[in-house]
Structure 1
């Protein structure tokens, strides 16, 4: 199968869409990092948005305060979440486990 040749306008539109998607995902992680959104709210927002659903779970967890690579890995291993899993690929029990683990106390 050959790669279709895109016009300049189509390439620009694709670049703009990709840039907007990256900004939207970065904004979600930024809001989680600053405390404007809880993990549960971020997961719910991603459930209804195709762009946000592509955020890697480990990246979202590392955006939380006091969560680094090690703690994120431990939590994901305990909940049987693969290291390369994206929010879209989480099961309902995994989502519930994440919400319970990081619920506000």
Structure 2
């Protein structure tokens, strides 16, 4: 299936929308890093908030202070979560397992 041909106006609108989404995601990760939002709160809002829902779980976990890439990989494996899973795609058991693993 070929991609649709966009007019210059549609393309500009899509680029602006993508930039806005990246900015919102960046602000979310900064809030987690600064401790303004907890990972439990963020995961709880994943189904309603489009920005959180489309963010990968691994990126959310890496934003938590003191957790690096190796620890994130271990947490995801322990909780049975695919590394490419997005926050909105987590089931209740996966969320609970992840939060238990975080302590």
Distance in 2 (alpha carbons) for counterparts of 1:40 and 1:77: 18
Distance in 2 (alpha carbons) for counterparts of 1:44 and 1:61: 14
Taking a change above 3 Å as real, the CA distance of residues 78 and 13 of structure 1, as seen in their structure-2 partners, is same
Residues 39, 102 of structure 1: 8 Å contact kept: no
Distance in 1 (alpha carbons) for counterparts of 2:100 and 2:38: 12
Which ranges in structure 1 are unaligned for 5 or more consecutive residues? Answer: none
Describe how 1:1-105 pairs up with structure 2 within 5 A: 1-102=1-102
Residues 57, 85 of structure 1: 8 Å contact kept: yes
User: What is the root-mean-square deviation of aligned Cα atoms in Å?
Assistant: 1.4
Runs of 4+ in 1 over 3 A off after TM superposition: none
TM-score (norm 1): 0.88
Deviations 1:44-63 (A, max 9, x none): 23221223211111111110
Deviations 1:17-71 (A, max 9, x none): 1011111111111100010000011112322122321111111111001100111
Residues 24, 52 of structure 1: 8 Å contact kept: no
Deviations 1:70-93 (A, max 9, x none): 111111111101111111221111
